[in-house]
Amino acid sequence: NCYYRAVLFAWLERCVAMGNIDGLRHFDAMLRPHRQAPRLSGSPRVVHAILGAWIARRTRCTTEAEVRALLLDVAEEFNKEKSDRALILCLRHLIADYLRRHARDPVAIGASMDKGNVLTYESWAVAIHGAKDIDDYCEQHVYVMNKDAADHVQHVCPRVLRTVVRIC
């Protein structure tokens, strides 16, 4: 879960620090249709409560000291096992949802597309990982807690969060 945890915490911390309440609301809104998903076992409700509290508190912050105090609380909350698990499980679910909705979208750009060799998320999953289809890929590589982030995850996660991720 290291990649998910690192990216999500950095994104949450930045949203709170910069006052990007819309980013937090968007993440919560993306989860709304999945609140009853059995696979998530109540995690969207946990995340909704956490984000709701942070959003309400951030909108009341008027000083840097208040923002810093909130950031400390964000870190403390993220270090609680229940919150950490819920946030990561929800991010994994949103990534899988994105992959399913965009399974046939082109991934490669540039010269390979010019020649008609368009690589899609699904064809990539089948060719590189031996998955039967995008659903099989998600079952094997995205939903599995404690599994390292596969290449698709690293490509899609920034799109889900609407941010840029640089891996050094």
Query: What pLDDT, in 10s, does the model give residues 56-71?
Result: 999 999 999 999 999 9
pLDDT of residue 37: 87
> Please, which pLDDT band fits residue 150 given cuts at 50, 70 and 90?
confident
> Please, which pLDDT band fits residue 1 given cuts at 50, 70 and 90?
confident
pLDDT of residue 115: 56
pLDDT of residue 105: 93
Query: What pLDDT, in 10s, does the model give residues 35-55?
Result: 888 889 899 999 999 999 999
Query: Which pair of tokens denotes residue 92?
Result: 């994994």
The answer on pLDDT for 157 being more than 70 is: yes
Lowest-confidence pick of 7-21, 36-50, 83-97, 108-122: 108-122
Contacts by 6-10 with C-beta closer than 8 Å and gap 24+? 7/91, 7/157, 7/158, 7/161, 7/165, 8/87, 8/88, 8/91, 8/161, 9/75, 9/78
The answer on pLDDT for 147 being more than 90 is: no
pLDDT of residue 167: 76
The answer on pLDDT for 117 being more than 90 is: no
Average pLDDT, rounded, for the chain = 91
To the question of pTM greater than 0.85 for the whole model, the response is: yes
Closest CA to 54 of 17, 96, 99: 17
pLDDT of residue 108: 60
